[in-house]
Amino acid sequence: MAPTRILFVCMGNICRSPTAEAVMRLRVLEAGLEDEILVDSAGTGGWHVGGPPDPRSVAAGARHGLQVGGAARQVSARDFDDFDLVLACDADNVRALRRLARTDSHRAKVRLLREFDPESARGLDLDVPDPYFGEAGDGFDRVIDLVDAACVGLLAQLRAPR
């Protein structure tokens, strides 16, 4: 059976989506599912392509035992062929991804990441707030908390019998 492939997406692929990738990668590793679930991240914008994650994301990740790394890349229409789920960090990115998607089946792959957090799924605001314009403080740690809750729920859903 082919692995489930998940793409996390934010604006520039330097804060939220590489953090989500790192969180999910760790959760998958802890569950022993690294051959069954593959993760990556991208951004809807190309401003930071080739650059490293924001140092504040890397630092927050390190405080939580995460390795936030990689090089920023921009999402492409081909990603909809390569990934089973395309999980956006906020509603603006959902709209951008659905515009980029070429087919209804591709658009159906686009979801908000926090939909998978059972505690927030019923809420009105499912966005992971963008910490980029904030200070180095708790905004990045808050992103990790929100993303981790969603990744735990996502992993549980992926492991549930079908």
Question: Is pLDDT larger for residue 134 or for residue 46?
Answer: 46
Does the pLDDT at position 135 exceed 70?
no
Confidence band of 137 (pLDDT split at 50, 70, 90): low
* Strand, coil or helix: 24: helix
**45-87 pLDDT per residue, tens:** 999 999 999 999 999 999 999 999 999 999 999 999 999 999 9
Task: Based on the residue annotation, tell me whether 90 is a catalytic residue of this protein.
Answer: no
Which pLDDT band, with edges at 50, 70 and 90, does 124 fall under? confident
Q: Considering 15, 16, 25, 54, which one is annotated as catalytic?
A: 16
In the chain, % of residues over pLDDT 70: 97
Residue 89's closest CA among 159, 151, 160? Answer: 151
- In angstroms, rounded to a whole number, what is the distance separating the alpha carbons of residues 90 and 4? 22
pLDDT digits (tens, 9 = 90+) for 74-120: 999 999 999 999 999 999 999 999 999 999 999 999 999 999 998 88
Per annotation, catalytic residue among 10, 15, 89, 151: 10
3-state secondary structure of 11: coil
Summary count for the chain: helices (H), strands (E): 6, 4
Average pLDDT over residues 126-132: 94
Residue 9, CA atoms < 13 Å, CB-side half-sphere = 30
Predicted TM-score (pTM) of this structure: 0.96
Please report the pLDDT score of residue 161 as a whole number. 74
The whole-number pLDDT of residue 134 equals 77
3-class state of residue 87 by DSSP: strand
pLDDT of the residue at 123: 76
Is 78 a known active-site residue?
Answer: no
Looking only at the bridges linking them, the beta strands covering 85-88 and 4-10 are parallel
pLDDT, residue 1, reads 79
pLDDT at position 121 is 65
Q: Residue 152 to residues 1, 33, 106: CA-CA distances in angstroms?
A: 22, 13, 24
Q: Does position 130 have pLDDT exceeding 70, yes or no?
A: yes
**Order of all β-strands in the sheet with 4-10:** 37-43, 4-10, 85-88, 110-112
Residue 115 confidence (pLDDT): 95
Instruction: State the catalytic residue, choosing from 40, 117, 130, 148.
Output: 130
Comparing CA positions, the residue from 108, 115, 74 lying closest to residue 91 is 115
Average pLDDT, the chain: 94
